[in-house]
Chain A
Amino acid sequence: MTQTSNDKSALLLASTVISGIVAYLMVLQKNNIESYFVTPVVMYFCLNLYFAGSWKVSRVAQIAVFVLVLAIGIPMIGFTNSLYLQVAVTICIFAAMSLGLNVVVGFAGLLDLGYAAFFAVGAYLWAIFAGSQANEFIAGNLFPLNGNLVFVFIPLALFVAAGFGALLGLPVLKVKGDYLAIITLGLGEVIRVLANNLNKPINITNGSQGVRIAPNPENSPLAFITVPLSEATGIPFFQMQLTMYYVLILVVVAAVAVFVTRLDNSRIGRAWVAIREDEVAAQAMGIPLVRTKLIAFATGASFAGAMGVLYAAVIGFISPNDFNFERSTQILAMVVLGGLGSIQGVIVGAAIVISLNQLVLVEISRVLQLVKLPPRFDPTQYQQLIYGVILIAMMIVRPKGLVPAKRNPAKLENLEHGELAKGVK
């Protein structure tokens, strides 16, 4: 891309660097913790990522902004105030999951209201074996497992959740539309109820008490790198660990985004979209419906499973209520808000829903407390109301999502006619 008159690369870089420095300085001021301005500035700093995608800027500037914000800015701010890092980690976890749900709902058009079930599968898989819970039903006091096994459990959860997805999908996918939505809703609840009740006769999930992974610096995932780094820099262990999780999860999200993009631009992704657009025509064009839908279901489920492992590792405590119907609708809200079928969109959607819930609404409540309202009108109680109003407003303004899905233009120009002879059959 060449420099043109309306190229905003310089503006974007300036905006990123300045807001980054301001945000960092503000966070450094410990007595500033009560300030109402820190969160907006930090959020604006992160908003530059969105500008990098939507403004007309050069590739170099785009990459620079991603590095500045994701690799430098957020960790540095996070070292001082881990709240922001915590939010960033949560956003990444949910971004990967909404990418997975996007495959099911956005591409293949199968409304899945029980997606959190697959998240639960991954989370329990790790929590049970990485905590001491597995000792309850496996003799020999072998647990907790070595934390580094998380790298084995992520792919394992990928396959286990995909298996669950296929298993649940098989009887379900013969029905369509609203019926499918209701059945997935039911199956999602089944998994939650199972988690709630599998504490007797054998205590597998510890029931409604949930499963805890005791924090242990020696035996935590990534300890081999976190401990020396923490000693070398003097940053407290758990702060450092969160940063390392952030890096790991960022890599996983990037990998998931690449996978999904590649699938989207392949025979499989096109088959998904074709099924969404017109099932009868898709089948008449030679697409086996059940198999293709099953692949979509299993793919979506597998990403949720993998993120479940990471979620359990980061949070250290899970209970059946983390995977209820509200969780499923929250992920669905991210997908719809960001733009069904749009890969950038659903990531933006995840960022908005999570930051709304964990930062913006909290801040709004704090600001509202300045106005001395009678105690009955405690603004913190209106968080969900404000959340709902914001979601409705966004959908009215952008009914196709914040970043509507676009189909890629063809790259026929690169093809030469002389090559027609070989390989075309």
Chain B
Amino acid sequence: MLLNVNKARKVFGGLTAVNDVTFQVPEKSIISVIGPNGAGKTTFFNMITGIYKPTSGEIMFDNQNMIGLRPDEVTEKGIARTFQNIRLFGAMTTLENVLVGRHTRATTSFLDAILHNNNYKQDERAGLLRAKELLEFVGLLDKRDELAANLPYGEQRRLEIARALATNPKLILLDEPTAGMNPQETEETKHLIRRLRDEQGITVVLIEHDMRVVMTISDNVTVLDYGTKIAEGLPHEVRNNPQVIEAYLGRGAAAGEFGKTAEGGEAA
């Protein structure tokens, strides 16, 4: 297992946002985490990436304990992420955004930068080459000198992925990668996510609301509701799980009673 989360719990005051979730990610898989709004999916991501420290439980990545590491240390270990509401560096160019992602892998020190010595030159060159490669991979090479803030929405999402890839991750966490996209952009993103695994060999965990995406690309789906894992399994298993349907649609609908009566089916 690449990522092994054991009974992770996060409590904010009186609210248990994530409740003893156990979650495993095998290498080179695509795993989806789904659940209604407020189910604790993003909090779960934030625990894995070190933004929140779990109240209890353990998180092992690549057989290393991740609890207590700062987000930048987590990134250095090999977990990269994107954000639900895009968080690019708007005043920097597309290329620079990717170069920032390379921070932990670059070796230029303060003195190297001032002296412009060989280490600086080689490091910059290596960075540019890698950034070029990644921009080609997500199809943004011709936009490299545009400010990130000026890119259209779909391209900003792809740039976020390229930036995350620049950290050379083993695991990438995508927080709603297709949110706000039209069907064609969604299709392209799906394709890109598959290529992440197939071409770059990266394990992918995504939070996603679009069920067409979830059902078609996931090897495995985990469902959270009110912070608790209510189901886990292959996409078609999860789709037909009564608990999942109930979480999404409410109990009446899950029981198939909604719309049965002419009055509108208020029966619950």
Contact = CB atoms under 8 A, between A and B. Distances in A.
A415 B125 contact: yes
Given A266-B120, A277-B92, A409-B93, A284 B75 contact: yes
Interface stretch (A28-36, A371-379, A417-425): A417-425
A273 B91 contact: yes
B108 A268 contact: yes
A281 B92 CA distance: 13
Interface in A224-269: 259, 262-263, 265-269
B133 to A, nearest CB: 7
A415 B132 contact: yes
B122 interface: yes
Interface string B116-154: 100010111111111011000000000011010000000
Interface residues of A, number: 41
Of A268, A274, A295, most buried by chain B (CB within 10 Å of CB) is: A274
A277 B148 CA distance: 11
A420 B133 CA distance: 9
B89 interface: yes
A288 B74 CA distance: 11
Interface in A392-425: 405, 407-412, 415, 419-420, 423-425
Contacts of B110: 263, 268, 295, 299
Contact of B103 (A271, A299, A408, A425): A271
A283 B130 CA distance: 20
Given A268-B113, A423-B122, A425-B168, A289 B72 contact: yes
B145 A286 contact: no
Contact of A286 (B95, B99, B127, B167): B167
Nearest to B112: A266
A284 B72 CA distance: 6
Nearest to A295: B110
Given A266-B108, A268-B108, A280-B51, A410 B114 contact: no
A278 interface: yes
Given A268-B108, A286-B72, A259 B114 contact: yes
B163 interface: yes
Contact of B89 (A274, A411, A412): A274
B104 A286 contact: yes
Dominant SS among interface residues on chain B: helix
Given A262-B113, A415-B129, A410 B89 contact: no
Interface in B50-85: 51, 70-73, 75-76, 80-81, 83
A8 interface: no
Nearest to B160: A281
A364 interface: no
B45 to A, nearest CB: 10
Interface in A270-298: 270-271, 273-274, 276-278, 280-289, 295
A321 B112 CA distance: 38
B92 A285 contact: no
Contact of B128 (A269, A289, A409, A415): A415
Contact of B126 (A284, A288, A412, A424): A424
B114 A284 contact: no
Nearest to B97: A274
Interface of B: 49, 51, 70-73, 75-76, 80-81, 83, 87-93, 95-96, 99-106, 108, 110, 112-114, 116, 120, 122-130, 132-133, 144-145, 147, 163-164, 166-168
16 contacts: A262-B116, A267-B106, A270-B92, A278-B89, A285-B72, A285-B103, A286-B167, A287-B103, A407-B93, A407-B96, A410-B93, A410-B128, A423-B122, A424-B130, A425-B126, A425-B168
What are the nearest 8 A-B pairs in CB distance? A266-B113, A286-B104, A286-B75, A277-B89, A281-B87, A409-B145, A410-B95, A283-B71
Interface of A: 259, 262-263, 265-271, 273-274, 276-278, 280-289, 295, 299, 341, 405, 407-412, 415, 419-420, 423-425
Given A273-B91, A277-B88, 18 more contacts: A263-B110, A270-B99, A274-B92, A281-B88, A283-B70, A283-B71, A284-B71, A284-B72, A284-B81, A285-B100, A285-B163, A289-B72, A341-B91, A407-B92, A410-B145, A412-B132, A415-B132, A424-B130
